Chain A
Amino acid sequence: MVGRGHDVLIVGGGVAGLRAAIASHDAAIDLRLDVAVVSKVHPLRSYSAVAQGAINAAIDPADSWERQALDVIKCGDYLGDQNVVEVFCREGLAAIGELETFGVPFNQSKDGKLAQRAYGGASIPRACFVADRTGQVLLHALWEQALMRGITFYNEWYVLNLVIEGGTCCGVIALHIPSGKIHAIPAKATILATGACYSVYQSVTRVRMNTGDGTAMAYRAGVALRDMEFVQFQPTTLFGAFINIAEAARGEGGYLRNRFGERFMERYAPKMMELASRDIVSRAILSEIREGRGLDEGYVHLDLTHLPKGVLIQKLPQVCEQVRDFAGIDPTKEPIPVRPGIAHETGGINTNMDGATNVWALFAAGDCSNTGMNGANPSGGNGLVGAVLFAKKAGESAARITGGRAMPSIRPDWQRREEELMASLFHSKSRESLARIRKRLGEVMMDKVGPYREGRLLREAVDDLKRLREQYECVGVRDRSRRFNTELIEVLEMRNSLDLAEVIVASALARQESRGTHYRRDYPKRDDQNWLKHTLVYADRNGPRLGYRDVVITRFPSGVRYEMPYEG
C-alpha cells in the first residue's frame, strides 16, 4: 500500500477529512479514484467526537438563508466574507439531508420534522442535534460511509511534512507510529483536514492532540494562514477540569448566575441573555469574576436545576455524565461551576470556497482551514456544517485536478531529511523538559494573548516565545525505542504549536482594534475604517510576514452588532 501513491490523499480522519474522502470518491465513481486517509489516531478517535452541540440549518418556515446569513455575519463582527456566508447558508440544508442519508439519527419532533434548539448568536432556534453527541455520531456515520466506499486508511500514521516541488504538492512524508518507520506517500492531490489548534493554550484545555500539525506544516511550506489572531474561548467549561459544557445546556434553557444568584447576562446582553455570541458571554463571565461577583475560586454558576429532568436525560445526556464523572455534581440538583476556557483557533489555512490553497494540488478543509466565513468569531453550531459542506467541495475539486496528472514521484532526499531530523532528536541529549515548555507556552498565551489583550503584553509574548523556541532546540527524545514512540510525536507536535503561537501573537499585535474574539484594552473600539480586512500571514526567514485582504461585502453593509459586545 505504501509507496504506490494515491489519487487523493487526505491528512486527518475527522469529520472534515472523512467527508472530503467520500466526496473525492463520489465525484468520479466511474474513474474509481484511489482515495486514502492518513490519521495520527484511528479516525474514530478524532477530536470531532467531542463536538457536542449542534449543526445549524435554516429549516423553520420563519427562518431563511438571509436571516441565518445576517446572524453569521453579525456573530463574526462583520469580518466574514459575505459571498462565502451566502453559499454556506444556502447549501447548509442539503448538507444536513446528506448526513441523514448517511444514517445520522437527528432528534425529531413528533411530527417527523428535525428538532432544532436555540444556540448562541442565533436569532431563532436553528441547531439540529443528536442529543449532545452530535459530533461523535456524525464521525461514526462518515467513517462507515468511507469504509463502504473502500477508502484506504493509514491509521496511526503521523505526517511529518508536505512534499512541495515547484509550487505543486506531490504528497507527504509520514511516520508509521507502531513501527517508527518513515515512508513517502505520493499523491496527485492532498487535502489537509487536521483540525483546529488547541494545544497552544494548554493551560485551559484538556485536549493535547490538536496541535495544528497541518496548519503549521502548510505555513512552513509557504501557504498563507488567515485571521489567526481570532481565538474563541468557550464560555462555559467545567471549573477545574476544562471540559466544555456544551452550549446546548444554555440552548435548552440553562441560566448563568453570579454569587448573588443574579442572571448577570442582563447587564451585557439583555435581549440574547445566555445565548449571546460566545465571545460576549466569555467576556461577561470574566468581568463578573474580576469585579468580585464570581464564586470563591473564580467561577460562575451554570444553573440547570430548573429544567425538567426529562430534558436533561434525553437531550443533555453527555453534559450530565461529564459533570457527574469529572466534578461529582448532580446537575439536576446543583448548579455547575464554570468559567471560560478551551481556546479554539478560528483562523487557519487560507482557502477559497473549493478548499484550494495558494499551492497547486494542496487543499484544506474543516477547522484547520479558513474560508473567511467565520470572520472574527465563529457561531456555535456552524463548525460541523462548515466542515462537511466545504470538505465536500474540497474533496470534489481535489478529484477534479487528478484528471490527467501523472502520479508524482517523491525524490528520496525528502524522506532522508526527515530521517536525519529524527535521528538528531534521538541522539541529542535532552537538556530541557518538553512538559515545562508546554506548560509555559500555555501560560504565556493565556496571560498575554488571552481574551483580553494589549500591546505591551503582546510584545512581551513575542520575547517569551523566542525564549521558548531556544529552549525547544535543547529538547531531545528520552525514549529510545522506535516502536509506538509517543514522546517523539509530542516533541514533533510542539514545533507546530510554537510556530502557530508565533503567528497568533504577530497577527494580534498588528490588529489595533477590538473585533469579535480579539479584544484589545488599548484599542477597545472596532475600527472599520482601517481594519475591515483579513490578516494573511506567510512564513518568512525572520518569522511571520503579514499581509491584508479586504472583506467581501455583498448585501449586508457593516453595522453595529445587536448588543454591546465589548467591556462597558
Chain B
Amino acid sequence: MRAKVSVFRFNRDEAAGPHYDEFFVDVTRGTTVLDCLTQIKDEQDGSLTFRSSCRVGACGDCATKINGQASLTCKTRALKELEEHGYIRVEPLPGFEVTRDLVVDLEPLWEHIEEIGPWIETREHGKRIPFELIEKVQRASFCNLCGICHSECPVVKADPGFGGPATLTKVYRFAIDDRDSRGVKRVVKLVGGSTSPFRCLRCYLCEEACPRSVGPAESTAALRRLAMRNGTIVEAGIRHARAMTKDVCRYGKLSETALAVRTWGYNPLAILRAIPLALRLWLRGKLVWRTEPIGGIQDIKKIIEATEKIQDG
C-alpha cells in the first residue's frame, strides 16, 4: 500500500529553516521505517540524510523518533505505525543537537560514557566472572548505546549534566564485576554528584523504550542498593529511603514529621528553611509527634525482609 511519510528536514547551510517534507512510499508486511527512508533516498530525494548501519537491530545507529516515540528505524514496522497512527512521522532523536535532517550529534552521550571510565581494570589476568553474575553482566553488556533511553530520560532533559540511564547501566556492568579493581567504588563515587543514581525519578521510560531490553531502570535501582549497602549516606535520597523503610518496618506507615527531618539530615540550615512548612502543617493539624504502629505490623516486617532477600539475590 501507499503510505505517507513525513520527515523532519534541517540543514543549517540552507536558507529553509527546520521543516517537514512529505513523501509517499510503498509499504508491505515486512517493510520497516528504515526501508521507507531508504526508498525515499534511493528514488525520490538523495539529499535525505539519516544514519543506519547494521539494519538488523544490533548496532543502534539508526535511533530516531517515530510518531513521537524514540525507536530504532530498522526495527519499527511501517504497517504497525500506519495501523496505529495512519501516517509515519520521523524526527531526529530529541535532546541532541541536529547535525542534519535525522542525524544528531551524540557527543554529549559519549562524553558521559567516557567520563565514568567504561573499561574493566583487572589486576588478576585470566580470572573468570563468577557463574552467578554472568547473566547480569551479559544483560547490561547487551546495551549498544543507541541513545534512545538518554533521549527519553526526563532528568537528562532537565539537566544535561546527568549521565542518564545508559551511562548508569554501564556503571552497573562494571560495579557488579568483582574482577574490576574499582568495582563498587564506581557507584560510591557517583553518589552526591551530577550522575548519582538517586537522581533517577523511577519513571521507567528508559526501561520501556530500550530496544534491547537491557533493563536500564533496573540497573539504576540496583546501583542505588549497592550504594546504600556500601554505607554511603551523603545524599538526601539515601537518607529518605532508609528512613522510609525504617518507618514502615516499625509502624507500618510513615511518620511524616520525623521522615522529613531525617531526609534533610540534622542540618540546622535545612531545619530553619523548613520552619514555614512546619508551621503550615501544624496549623492544619498535620504535624504528628507520635506514630502508633498499625495492626498486623509483624506481617509487614516479614514482607519487607523477604523483599530485601530477593533484591540481594
Binding site for B on A (CB under 8 A): 41-42, 44-47, 49-50, 52, 97, 100-103, 105-110, 112, 130-131, 133, 135-137, 140-141, 144-145, 147-148, 178, 206-209, 240-241, 243-244, 314, 318, 321-322, 325-328, 433-435, 438, 477-487
Contact B59 A481 (CB under 8 A): no
Are A137 and B141 interface neighbours, CB within 8 A?
yes
Partner of B61, one of A42, A109, A478: A42
Does B298 sit at the interface, judged by CB under 8 A?
no
B41: A residues at CB distance < 8 A: 486-487
Assuming the contacts A105-B137, A105-B138, A481-B11, asked whether A50 and B129 have C-beta atoms less than 8 A apart, the reply is no
A549 to B146, CA, bound (A): 45
- B167-223, CB < 8 A from A: 174, 177, 179-180
- Closest Cβ of chain A: how far from B151's Cβ, in Å? 16
Contact indicator A108/B128 (Cβ below 8 Å): yes
B47 touching A209, Cβ below 8 Å: no
Contact in complex: A41, B61 (CB < 8 Å)? yes
Among B30, B50, B75, the residue within 8 A (CB) of A327 is B30
**B57 and A481: CB pair below 8 A?**
no
19 A-B Cβ contacts within 8 A?
A: A41-B61, A44-B60, A44-B144, A47-B53, A49-B144, A100-B126, A100-B129, A101-B125, A103-B179, A107-B134, A108-B129, A108-B131, A130-B141, A135-B58, A140-B141, A145-B119, A328-B77, A438-B42, A482-B13
B11 A49 Cβ-Cβ under 8 A: no
- Check A47/B128 contact, CB under 8 A, given A326-B30, A435-B43: no
* Whole-angstrom CA separation of A49 from B125 in the bound complex: 25
Question: Considering residues A106, A481, A486, which has the most beta carbons from chain B within 10 angstroms of its beta carbon?
Answer: A486
Q: Who on chain B is nearest to A146 by CB?
A: B119
Chain B interface residue count, CB cutoff 8 Å, equals: 58
* Contact of B114 with A by CB under 8 A: yes
Contact A483 B13 (CB under 8 A): yes
Q: Contacts A100-B128, A481-B13 given: A50-B144 contact, CB under 8 Å?
A: no
Is residue B263 contacting chain A, with contact meaning CB distance below 8 A? no
Nearest CB of chain A from residue B100's CB, rounded to whole Å:
4
Interface residues of B in 31-83 (CB under 8 A from A): 32, 38, 41-43, 46-47, 49-61, 75, 77
- With beta carbons under 8 angstroms apart, the residue of B52, B56, B77, B144 that contacts A243 is B56
Query: Do B54 and A101 have beta carbons less than 8 Å apart?
Result: no
Are B30 and A50 interface neighbours, CB within 8 A? no
CB A95 to nearest CB in B, in angstroms, measures 13
A174 to chain B, nearest CB (A): 18
Contact of B53 among A41, A106, A327 (CB under 8 A): A41
Q: Which of B46, B51, B100, B134 contacts A478 (CB 8 A)?
A: B46
A135 CA / B54 CA spacing, docked (Å): 12
Contacts of B114 in A (CB 8 A): 147
Chain A neighbourhood of B61, CB < 8 A = 41-42, 45
Partner among A50, A244, A325 whose Cβ is within 8 Å of the Cβ of B59: A50
From the candidates B53, B131, B137, B138, name the one contacting A112 in the complex (CB within 8 A). B131
B55 A208 Cβ-Cβ under 8 A:
yes
State in angstroms the CA–CA spacing of A5 and B61 once bound together: 29
| Chain B residue at minimal CB-CB distance from A153 | B110
Q: Across the interface, which residues of A come within 8 angstroms of B49, CB to CB?
A: 479, 484-486
Flag if A136 contacts B99 (CB, 8 Å): no
Q: Which of B85-126 contact A (CB under 8 A)?
A: 99-100, 103, 106, 114, 117-122, 125-126
Residues of chain B within 8 A of A144, CB atoms compared = 118-120
Q: Are the C-beta atoms of B138 and A130 separated by less than 8 Å?
A: yes
B145 on interface, CB distance cutoff 8 Å: yes
Cβ of B282 within 8 Å of any chain A Cβ, yes or no, is no
Complex Cα gap A531–B197 (Å): 64
A131 to B47, CA, bound (A): 39
Bound complex: CA A241 to CA B118 (Å): 35
- Assess whether A105 is in contact with B119, with CB atoms less than 8 Å apart: no
Q: Is B159 an interface residue (CB 8 A)?
A: no
With CB as the reference atom, state the residue of chain A lying closest to B131.
Answer: A108
B142 within 8 A of A: yes
A-B pairs, 8 with minimum CB distance: A435-B42, A479-B47, A103-B120, A144-B119, A45-B61, A148-B119, A45-B53, A478-B46
Q: Evaluate contact between B56 and A50: CB separation under 8 angstroms.
A: yes
Which residue in chain B gives the minimum CB-CB distance to A40?
B53
A327 to B28, CA, bound (A): 12
Verify A50–B119 contact, CB threshold 8 A: no
Check B145 against A44 for contact (C-beta < 8 Å): yes
What mask results when residues 1 to 20 of chain B are scored 1 for a CB within 8 Å of chain A, else 0?
00000000001111000000
Q: Are B54 and A133 in contact (CB under 8 A)?
A: no
- Identity of the chain B residue whose Cβ is nearest the Cβ of A41 in the assembled complex: B53
CB of A103 within 8 A of CB of B119, answer yes
Residue in A47, A49, A240 whose beta carbon sits within 8 Å of that of B30 in the complex: A240
Nearest neighbor of B28 in chain A, beta-carbon distance: A240
In Å, the complex CA distance between A106 and B141 comes to 11
- Given the interface pairs A103-B119, A112-B128, A477-B46, the reply to whether A322 lies near B57 with Cβ below 8 Å is yes
**Contacting pair B58 A318 (CB below 8 A):** yes
Cβ contacts under 8 Å, B58 to chain A: 49-50, 52, 133, 135-136, 318
Known: A41-B61, A101-B125, A140-B144. A206 touches B56 (CB 8 A): yes
Which residue on A lies nearest to B140, using beta carbons?
Answer: A105
A145 to chain B: which residues have CB within 8 Å?
119
Chain B residues with Cβ below 8 Å from A478 are 46-47
Selected from A46, A101, A147, the residue in CB contact (under 8 A) with B118 is A147
